[in-house]
Amino acid sequence: MKKLIALAAIALLVIPVLAVTAGGAKEVDEAAIVREGTGPSWTWDTEPVTLGMYMHEGWYTKRWNPDVNIRDAKILEETGVNLDISVPTGDAQERLNTMIAGQTLPDIVVLGWWFDQVRQLQEAGRLYPLNELIDEYAPDFWDIIPQSMVDWYTAPDGNWYQFPNFFWAEEHLEQYAEYGVGFQSNAGMYARQDIMDELGITPEDFTTQDGMVEALRKVRGYTYDDYPVQPVYFGPGAVGEFLGWIGTSFFAVPREDENGDLIDMRVHPKYLELVQFQNRLYREGFMSDENFVDTRQQITERKARGEVFLFIGNTADYTSSIRDLVMADPDAQYVPVGPVRARDGARPQLVSSGLAGWQVNIIPRTTQRPDRAIRFLHYLYSEAGQNLTNFGIEGVTYEVVNGQIQWTDYYLEQQAVDPQGASQRYGDGGGMWWAHNPVYGRAIEPEPATLHAQLHADIWEASGPYVLNDLAWNNIDPDGGTEEAAIAAEVSTYWEAQLPQMVMASSAAEVEAIWNDSVAHIRRLGIEQVWEVQNEKFWANKERLGLQYAWPPNQERFGR
């Protein structure tokens, strides 16, 4: 669930799409469309049909196999839909732009809402408005769609083209309030409980910079299973995530000034404090130089072998390492710690796991069966579809007890005996989150059935009290192809190259000198021109949300 990546940078790297025109629309097979029926729209026509689905993520591993996977078979049985799932190989942007230019987009495209191709396709008339498809082919779909989702994703032309996954609807939060479902963040810190106990370290030690440094000093030189344990490890690149969105969240670097205008956190003095803190960790020898080049997979393997004491990063990316380590050694448990704070002690403001959603489903006009595509989305977003994609088959993998999901003994036994086989037969096969409703899923999900599941749940829950409602900061970057987008891309590339130099500097004074030079340079590149565009969009978002101030400390000081 990757929404919490460098969204701005990715949006600005979009390759301009040439000749995006309204052409390429295919004639709908009107004779095949069933327009009436009883029950939900997806039941009106269950004749076998193959829908192409493109996932714009090269790492996506789900493969459609109803002959083996019971979830795939159930979807086919209930909707008549077979999926032809494709993913990019090589350059994902090149693959997407080639399909757009060649007018070969499949029936459903799933990609991050921040990619500029979505806007280009909308403006060129190359997408079906979902509101029109629902009115014509699936009118009862409206019964389960939250208005807040439609409002947020409605385009300037008044149409709604993007159906998001992981959208935290206000209506659903109210509907399932009794279950205590709240916002969560992927930003987290967790450490080995067994090592903490042995060395006399507590989770609270990590709430201050000095306390964290003292704790890590105790770990220096520690070995586990003949492996030297690294005191602290960050996500890939060591600096991108931490100095991009995780550490700024911990330190509550302001994102809005007292006038309600947008702040670029990179130029705020508290950002300098954050960089100097990571530099301090580096100069103390707590960080490994390998952290600057290790991939996500390499970090996962290190953690699974027990080589990492404290991890700071995107907690959603490393669940397998928590599982593998504790399965090998039940005492080697990762538990939430911190989060570390700025010197002013400000309450952390963690970016959310994506209140506006992560990816969106769009239906190109190249499909000949828009009726089946929109009805398939209806199925996925229904309770029946949510239960299937999240939990499997009732009576086989789960039962419903007092409104809550409980895993069956049979399913748990299969997981224990043959984890890989159980995943192939009963699991989602690599991800069926295409239209995931996080509030519903959180409200009815089962209690963790294994130690590693409980550990991950504890880490995930620990972020809850600090999560920032960050909707106002969504989709504020300059549109692709504009002068401001080009400036922002140049600034981003330059800044990313400067960060390792700051972290590896020989002293705090040198960090400050590099930071000052870097801030001056991005101003010369024209970053203030970008800020003007971003601020305008930021204010527009706040107006939609009915806010004068979006930054919680400002709300407390000046009111809404």
Tokens at 188, concatenated? 């987290």
Inform me whether the pLDDT recorded for 129 exceeds 70.
yes
Q: Please tell me the distance from the alpha carbon of residue 280 to that of residue 166, in angstroms, as a whole number.
A: 37
Q: How far is CA 111 from CA 48, 108, 362, 363, in A?
A: 26, 10, 8, 12
Inform me whether the pLDDT recorded for 515 exceeds 50.
yes
Q: How confident is the model at residue 2 (pLDDT cuts 50, 70, 90)?
A: very low
Among 331, 348, 339, which Cα is nearest to 196's? 331
- Cβ contacts of 246 within 8 Å, gap of 6 or more: 187, 235, 312, 313, 314
Q: How many other CB atoms are found less than 10 A from the CB of residue 285?
A: 12
The reported pLDDT for the residue numbered 1 is 40
Instruction: Kindly report which listed range (186-195, 313-322, 533-542) carries the lowest average pLDDT score.
Output: 313-322
- Please provide residue 419's backbone torsions phi and psi, each rounded to the nearest 5 degrees: -55, -45
Inform me whether the pLDDT recorded for 20 exceeds 70.
no
- 3-class DSSP state of 179: helix
Side chain identity, residue 186:
N
Inform me whether the pLDDT recorded for 483 exceeds 60.
yes
Q: How confident is the model at residue 7 (pLDDT cuts 50, 70, 90)?
A: very low
Domains of the chain plus CATH, in order, are 7-167+359-392+427-443 (3.40.190.10), 186-349+446-560 (3.40.190.10)
Inform me whether the pLDDT recorded for 11 exceeds 70.
no
Inform me whether the pLDDT recorded for 81 exceeds 70.
yes
> According to the per-residue pLDDT averaged within each range, which of 351-355, 383-387, 447-451 is highest?
383-387
Inform me whether the pLDDT recorded for 5 exceeds 70.
no
Q: How many other CB atoms are found less than 10 A from the CB of residue 377?
A: 23
Average pLDDT over residues 206-220: 98
Q: Would you tell me the crossing angle of helices 527-545 and 483-503 to the nearest 10 degrees?
A: 100
Q: How confident is the model at residue 508 (pLDDT cuts 50, 70, 90)?
A: very high
Give the predicted TM-score (pTM) of the model: 0.86
Average pLDDT over residues 383-412: 94
The reported pLDDT for the residue numbered 403 is 85
Inform me whether the pLDDT recorded for 22 exceeds 70.
no
Inform me whether the pLDDT recorded for 383 exceeds 90.
yes
Average pLDDT over residues 514-525: 98
Cβ atoms of 97 and 337 closer than 8 Å: no
The reported pLDDT for the residue numbered 448 is 87
- Cβ contacts of 395 within 8 Å, gap of 6 or more: 408
Q: Which helix (H) or strand (E) holds 301?
A: helix 296-304
Inform me whether the pLDDT recorded for 359 exceeds 60.
yes
Inform me whether the pLDDT recorded for 9 exceeds 70.
no
- Cβ contacts of 106 within 8 Å, gap of 6 or more: 51, 52, 53, 54, 84, 86, 99, 364, 366, 367
Measured CA angle at 166 (ends 350, 387), to 5 deg: 130
Q: How confident is the model at residue 19 (pLDDT cuts 50, 70, 90)?
A: very low
Q: What's the Rg (C-alpha) of the chain?
A: 24
pLDDT tens-place string over residues 236-262? 999 989 999 999 999 999 999 999 999
Average pLDDT over residues 89-95: 93
Instruction: Kindly report which listed range (3-12, 102-111, 179-188, 472-481) carries the lowest average pLDDT score.
Output: 3-12
The reported pLDDT for the residue numbered 420 is 83
- The mean pLDDT of the chain is 92
Side chain identity, residue 469:
N
The reported pLDDT for the residue numbered 480 is 87
Average pLDDT over residues 167-190: 92
Q: Please tell me the distance from the alpha carbon of residue 450 to that of residue 125, in angstroms, as a whole number.
A: 49
pLDDT tens-place string over residues 131-166? 999 999 999 999 999 999 999 999 999 999 999 999
Q: Please tell me the distance from the alpha carbon of residue 160 to that of residue 139, in angstroms, as a whole number.
A: 15
